[in-house]
Amino acid sequence: MDNKRDITVLQFTMILISTSVSIAILGMPRMVIDYAKTASPTASLFGALLILFGILLITYLGKIFPKQTIVGYSELLLGRFGKFLVFLLAIYAIIITGLESRHFGEIIKSALLTDTPIHVSILLLGLLFVTASFHAPTTFAYIHYFYIPLTVAPIMFILLMSLTDVDWVNIMPILGNEASYYNIAQGGLVVTQVMQNFIIISVIIPFMRKPLDAMKAGVWGWLISALVLIMTVSFVLAVFGVNEVRDMTWPTLVLGRLIRFPAEIFQRIDAFLLIAWIVAAFTTVFATYYFAVRVLRELFKWKSQVKVSIFIYPVVFLIALWPNDILHLYDLLGTYIANNALFLTLGVPVLLFIVAKVKGYKVKGGTPS
């Protein structure tokens, strides 16, 4: 049942981690480094701090309105305009689900199933997240909780194993000697694009056993996911250097292929990274799609979540076919999504927070003082 408050603080933290360590982790370091050069770790931290700001706002609003999703309190605070803003967030989630599904298909075709049509990979991934979206938020939480070890552990293992190939000179100076503040900000926006799935927590908080603990769980989830992403960018830069990374499409995957065990116990360590990435791809698009399904269902007061999930998937599939190739895809993700989506994912919570404060809403009870 949708009205059950069964999601624990730990599950909430795992949701945030598994949606932030996303499908883009293979190509994200190249885009950040292309902008910020040796200042990429600093740029990554800047982007992660912007996301922390958004998480704090959403969790604070969740504490004020512990029984309502972002749909409910947006309408309460801003009326029809609030519903319109949340509708835009749902549209953003649909677009990003389609583009990330195409991202998944491109990497699968390049690295694993070279003879398989890209449409097949996209459809199979879609079948998984569409059917998974039929269920209540508690099931959503259990799925993320179950898969989190398969996502973070292999990535951290490969990063630590690559320490022997690290040359820390490649990340000096840490503030960059060629990149401007604008370039550092642009690199940070790439990281915010990767972590912007945090918006999913705005429809999860009402189903927590202890919604007042959402902020603490959110900070822990952000800390772990930010650490993984910043380490990934830093290690890729330290191993390959700026110039070499620029010639790579998926530098994190190349990093995995460099690792060798004594006596060749494992010949393809990058296989573990690909397994983790496939799981991360599923959890990423599952989160954005689930957000769109839940929001649209509540906005239009549709009773059947199954029908909503099935109804909007053709739109997602058509969006996945939109990019001409991988370069066009990265241009869409890096230029348009990274630069513009932040106005929604951070701007909407900021506006709601300001209005809630002006109207005198406080944490206890969700009613004006």
Q: What are the structural domains, with CATH classification, of the chain?
A: 9-358 (1.20.1740.10)
Residue pLDDT, tens place only, 81-126: 999 999 999 999 999 899 888 888 888 887 777 778 888 889 998 9
Residue pLDDT, tens place only, 85-96: 999 999 999 998
Query: Alpha-carbon distance 104 to 118, whole Å?
Result: 9
Residue pLDDT, tens place only, 311-363: 999 999 999 988 887 777 777 776 667 567 788 888 999 999 999 999 888 87
- Is the model's pLDDT at 205 over the cut of 50? yes
Confidence of residue 368 (pLDDT cuts 50, 70, 90): very low
What pLDDT is recorded for position 369? 41
What pLDDT is recorded for position 3? 56
267, burial (CB in 10 Å: exposed 0-12, middle 13-18, buried 19+): exposed
- Is the model's pLDDT at 260 over the cut of 90? no
Cα-Cα-Cα-Cα dihedral sign, residues 266, 270, 274, 277: positive
What pLDDT is recorded for position 104? 86
Q: Could you give the angle at the alpha carbon of 86 between the alpha carbons of 81 and 89, nearest 5°?
A: 135
Q: Could you give the angle at the alpha carbon of 104 between the alpha carbons of 140 and 55, nearest 5°?
A: 45
Query: Can you give the pTM of this predicted structure?
Result: 0.89
What integer is the mean pLDDT of 50-78? Answer: 92
Percent of the chain with pLDDT over 70: 91
Q: Could you give the angle at the alpha carbon of 129 between the alpha carbons of 60 and 52, nearest 5°?
A: 25
What pLDDT is recorded for position 367? 47
What pLDDT is recorded for position 33? 87
Q: Among 200-214, 260-274, 308-322, 353-367, which stretch is predicted with the lowest mean pLDDT?
A: 260-274
Beta bridge partners of 7: 208
What integer is the mean pLDDT of 1-23? Answer: 81
Q: Give the DSSP letter string of 96-154.
A: HHHHHHHHHHHHHHHHT-TTS-HHHHHHHHHHHHHHHTTS-HHHHHHHHHHHHHHHHHH
What pLDDT is recorded for position 1? 43
Q: Report the mean per-residue pLDDT for the chain.
A: 85
What pLDDT is recorded for position 48? 92
What pLDDT is recorded for position 341? 78
Q: Among 65-69, 113-117, 202-206, 255-259, which stretch is predicted with the lowest mean pLDDT?
A: 255-259
- Is the model's pLDDT at 39 over the cut of 90? no
Residue pLDDT, tens place only, 128-161: 999 999 988 999 999 999 888 888 888 888 888 8
Q: 55 is written with which tokens?
A: 């998480």
Q: Which of 40-54, 168-182, 251-265, 354-368 has the highest mean pLDDT?
A: 40-54
Reported as half-sphere exposure (CB side, CA atoms, 13 A), residue 248 has a value of 24
- Is the model's pLDDT at 179 over the cut of 70? no
- Is the model's pLDDT at 249 over the cut of 50? yes
> Which of 354, 322, 294, 342 lies closest to 140 in space, CA to CA?
294
Query: Alpha-carbon distance 144 to 325, whole Å?
Result: 30
Tell which wins on pLDDT, 222 or 152: 222
Residue pLDDT, tens place only, 186-201: 888 888 888 888 899 9
Tell which wins on pLDDT, 279 or 5: 279
What integer is the mean pLDDT of 52-66? Answer: 92
Tell which wins on pLDDT, 233 or 177: 233
> Which of 299, 100, 264 lies closest to 197 in space, CA to CA?
100
Sequence-distant (≥ 6) Cβ neighbours of residue 133 within 8 angstroms: 286, 289, 290, 293, 305, 309
What integer is the mean pLDDT of 174-185? Answer: 76
- Crossing angle between the packed helical segments 70-78 and 347-358, to the nearest 10 degrees: 50
